[in-house]
Amino acid sequence: MIDPNDGPLLVASHNVGKIWEFRELLEPLGFDVTSAKDQNLDDPEETGTSFEANAEIKALTAMRATGVASLSDDSGLVVEALGGEPGIYSARWGGPERDFAMAMRNVEEKLQAAGATTPDKRQARFVAVLCLARPSGKTHLFRGEVAGTIVWPPRGTLGFGYDPIFLPGGQDRTFGEMMSLEKHAWKPGQPTALSHRARAFQKFARDALGVE
């Protein structure tokens, strides 16, 4: 278990959108939240070959630099017709500037080239893996996924990353058309979150905080 009274929890990210979402999830549970961006930490090189490995690299790097319990996220878009790409390289498809307008165009161009023009051929998953690194050096992993379909053109200006082209299953709006609190769609006592990150966070809350 991790206790909010033990001190701050560091979100091991420089991504403003991710930090914002984690603050919305963590602060109601009593955590004082800081981030790698707030602490001016360098981004570690993500050399892992899975979401789990890269999440662990980020959490351990932040924890070792600060001595503070750190929570990281490694997430991405997995498109079936593209053999699972962009996957762990989702951010890199936007180039050095992390230009997700370019990244989304790249996904669409590759789908068109593969002949994936109908919804049944445009199935995808958003995956998020959280890693909690304790000051002891012990790590804990929590995985969340949500299935959906890639749409084009992008819809909505909310969220970040690939949200405007991802239509979650059973919904009529993309993540780019939803407020972050709606994507979370979870609080203690409610059964299932909507987004991949919130689903991973549910597992973190249950296993690391004892919150059902």
Residues annotated as catalytic (active site), given as ranges: 74
Distance, in Å, from the CA atom of 195 to the CA atom of 211, rounded to the nearest integer, reads: 18
Exposure string for 115-136, b = 16+ CB within 10 A, e = fewer = ebeeeeebbbbbbbbbbbbbee
Q: Which residue, chain included where needed, has tokens 């959108």? A: 17
All residues at 6 or more sequence positions from 88 whose CB lies less than 8 Å from its CB, including other chains: 46, 48, 49, 50, 51, 54, 74, 76
β partners of residue 166: 150
The Cα–Cα gap between 46 and 74 comes to 10
Packed helices 16-26 and 196-209: angle between N→C axes, nearest 10 degrees: 40
Two tokens at 9?
A: 């929890």
- Integer CA distances (angstroms), 46 to 50, 55, 90, in order: 10, 9, 12
- Tokens representing 157 are 């200006």
